[in-house]
Amino acid sequence: MMTRSCGVRLGGLESLMTLPTGDPRGLGLSPGQTETGDQQSTSANDSDILHGEVVAVVLTWRGRIGLFKRSHAVHSDRGLWHCISGYVDPGCSPVSQAIKEVYQETGLGVSELKQVRIGPALPLPDPRGGSWIVHTFRADTERRRLDLNWEHDDYRWVKPQNVRRFAGRVEWLDQVVSLEI
């Protein structure tokens, strides 16, 4: 049974342990759609404030991890190496948002993902105060070449043990990459 959540055709992917093949363009999106704007708190100094939820997807190809260099057109983490990430849109599940972000940022459709595994939700402190909830995922693809949107200037497939050699990583990237998902 096909279901839709925030514009993503899930095809019964609620558990998302393995993705069935299907039309990669059947997600109801077009590559490069813009991301949701920052979710701001009215009291940035209150440590109990939840700013919002984000997804972080570690994309892998042949045992290598995809690192993505954030462009200067984005609002946060400009010029830093990152995984695939995005804000969880209102009314959207983290699973659906993860699939949506992978498609928007890399052009990879559902049929081009061999497997997607759900990891833990991590609290991430915000240096300005408050915190975020980061829903973690690991997705495997057999496609080496990606179609980046405006959010990234470059990408590299890196052996897991070499991720830390990349200077200019997002502060919490190592924590997400090291998860056994």
Pairing of strands 81-82, 64-70: antiparallel
Residue 1 is assigned to a structural domain of this protein: no
Whether the pTM exceeds 0.85: the reply is: no
Residue 127 is assigned to a structural domain of this protein: yes
Task: Give the count of domains, the chain.
Answer: 1
Residue 99 is assigned to a structural domain of this protein: yes
In tens, the pLDDT along 36-65 reads: 333 333 333 444 566 789 999 999 999 999
Phi and psi at residue 96, to the nearest 5°: -60, -40
Residue 91 is assigned to a structural domain of this protein: yes
In tens, the pLDDT along 83-116 reads: 999 999 999 999 999 999 999 999 999 999 999 9
CATH code of the domain in which 132 resides: 3.90.79.10
Residue 2 is assigned to a structural domain of this protein: no
Residue 24 is assigned to a structural domain of this protein: no
**Which amino acid, residue 26?**
G
Residue 54 is assigned to a structural domain of this protein: yes
Residue 7 is assigned to a structural domain of this protein: no
Nearest alpha-carbon partner for 71 in 139, 165, 148? 148
Q: Three-state DSSP class for 154?
A: strand
Tell me the residue range of the domain where 109 lies.
50-177
**Residue 6 burial (CB count, 10 A):** 18
